[in-house]
Amino acid sequence: MQEIAAALIEGDNHTVNALTVKALEEGTEALEIMDDGLIAGMGIVGIKFRENFIFVPEVLACARAMKAGMAHIEPISRAAGVEPIGTVIMGTVKGDLHDYRKNLCIMMLGGRGFEVVDLGVDTSEDEFIAALEEHKAPIMGMSALLTTTMPNMGKTIEALIDADLRDDVW
């Protein structure tokens, strides 16, 4: 698992892919690979990013490596017939086209047993509300990378309060 984490930290998606396949072939549980290899590696990436040791391009390479490993883990989780423990609505707020953070969260939530409805990027308040109503999801996540779009998170929250979905969703 340390080799998978190290390759992920280096942003080496080909090595993460190969090591994940090898670990699965050797009988390592998918959840162990995800927790002790992929998520552990991304945890270190998050710390390095927060401390300004790496920057957005490196994080994107690491996210690509994480995705390469998760491509083998997610089908195993689905095939195991694991019932979702809950539904989460995820989207990047209106005006923002950046989705790598949202996609990382989706991968981690999916690996933990959540069903995730991905609304994509440039998601309006009405789209968030409609998805919550349609899927009866008790959890919603929003992403915004740009400081110019971060206020749209507040606008979405205000729209949710005004919509008062408590009786319909929760």
Q: Over the stretch 35-90, which tens digit does the pLDDT of each residue have?
A: 899 989 988 998 998 899 998 889 888 888 988 998 898 788 777 666 778 999 99
If asked whether residues 14 and 89 sit together in one domain, one would say: no
Chain-centre distance for alpha carbon 18: 22
Last residue within a domain, chosen from 36, 61, 82: 82
For the stretch 117-131, pLDDT in tens is 999 999 999 999 999
- Report which residue type is found at 28: T
If asked whether residues 78 and 96 sit together in one domain, one would say: no
d(C-alpha 68, C-alpha 12), whole Å: 9
If asked whether residues 68 and 97 sit together in one domain, one would say: no
Determine which helix (DSSP H) or strand (DSSP E) holds 92, and give its type and residue range: strand 86-92
Assessment of whether the complete model's pTM goes beyond 0.75: no
Q: Domain range spanning residue 30?
A: 1-82
For residue 125, give the CATH number of its domain.
Answer: 3.40.50.280
pLDDT at 152: 94
Confidence of residue 2 (pLDDT cuts 50, 70, 90): very high
- Number of domains observed in the structure of the chain: 2
